[in-house]
């Protein structure tokens, strides 16, 4: 099993550009989440999903969109990148909302 796979691992964007961070899991987990990790801030929840077709906002959702068309995939879209979105992004999944498995992260720089 691959677990939680995130792509790309690194990305540099110009302000105003859009992009999609990919996340896929092969564990048949119904719960999936996106977090961002910033120095001195800890991990913060952006969006989450409790199953295909169901998404909701977390603590810091502004500037990000998500959709969940399949159990396996949970992409995160940046609509118009801003320097404040420079961060490391982690996708996580779990069965029943407990004991999350995290991906290896996407390091995003917005210039």
Partner 1 sequence: EDQVTQSPEALRLQEGESSSLNCSYTVSGLRGLFWYRQDPGKGPEFLFTLYSAGEEKEKERLKATLTKKESFLHITAPKPEDSATYLCAVQSLYSGGGADGLTFGKGTHLIIQP
Using CB under 8 A as the criterion, which residues of the chain lie in contact with partner 1 when the complex forms?
4, 31, 33, 35, 40-45, 48-50, 56-59, 90, 92, 97-105
Give me the least distance between CB of 6 and partner 1, in Å please: 8
Cβ distance to partner 1 smaller for residue 7 or 18? 7
Cβ distance to partner 1 smaller for residue 11 or 17? 11
Strands 106-110 and 10-13, sheet pairing: parallel
Give me the least distance between CB of 88 and partner 1, in Å please: 9
Task: Give all strands (DSSP E) within the chain, no chain letters.
Answer: 4-7, 10-13, 19-25, 31-38, 42-51, 54-57, 64-66, 76-78, 87-95, 98-102, 106-110
Under a CB-based contact definition with an 8 Å cutoff, are residues 89 and 76 in contact? yes
Cβ distance to partner 1 smaller for residue 82 or 100? 100
Instruction: Say how far apart CA 73 and CA 75 lie, in whole Å.
Output: 6
Cβ distance to partner 1 smaller for residue 14 or 98? 98
């Amino acid at each position: 099993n691959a677990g939680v796979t995130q792509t790309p691992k690194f990305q540099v964007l110009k302000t105003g550009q859009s992009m999609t961070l990919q996340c896929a899991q092969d564990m048949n987990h119904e719960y999936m989440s996106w977090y961002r990790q910033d120095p001195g801030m800890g991990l913060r929840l952006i969006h989450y999903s409790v199953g295909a077709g169901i998404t909701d906002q977390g603590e810091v959702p502004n500037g990000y969109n998500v959709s969940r068309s399949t159990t396996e995939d949970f992409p995160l879209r940046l609509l118009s990148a801003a320097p404040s979105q420079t961060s490391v992004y982690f996708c996580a999944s779990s069965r029943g909302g407990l004991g999350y498995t995290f991906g290896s992260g996407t390091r995003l720089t917005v210039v």
